[in-house]
Amino acid sequence: MPHLRVEYSPGLEAKTSIQAMCDALHAAMDATGVFPLAGIRVKAHRCAQVCVADRHPDNHFVALELSVGAGRAKAVLSGAGEAVFAAAKTALAPLLAHPHFMLSMEIREIDPELSWKANAIHDRLRAQS
């Protein structure tokens, strides 16, 4: 854990590189030093149908939801969130310059008693170090 879920409006692929955005978000998450590299996942999902604001056909959005394991101080998560959101704003700057785009992000903590994981990547990366 952490997992960054990126939901975006249909047609946004024609206006920006979704992969470049994902790469920038991944790099920002790693650079915070808050999250273990082996747990970082950035997953982009195109929404099939949407109704955005006034339903103007040029309206688009990117919504980021960062799910993290419990136990980090709020200030630490806030700083990491600021860094990831800044990377998103940079990656999406051309879209933010137009009046038909919105960007949002939230962080949610996962209750450890209600979360199960199996991740062999952690062991592989530790062995490489």
pLDDT of 15 reads 96
- Which domains are delineated in the chain? 3-128 (3.30.429.10)
CA 75 from centroid of its chain's CA atoms: 19
Nearest to 32 by CA among 68, 59, 57: 68
Find the catalytic residue in 2, 57, 94, 112: 2
pLDDT for 61 beyond 90:
yes
Mean pLDDT for 66-92 is 97
Backbone angles phi, psi at 65, to 5 degrees: -125, 110
pLDDT tens-digit series, residues 2-16 = 999 999 999 999 999
Known active-site residue 99: no
DSSP sequence for 7-40: EE-TTGGGTS-HHHHHHHHHHHHHHTSSS-GGG-
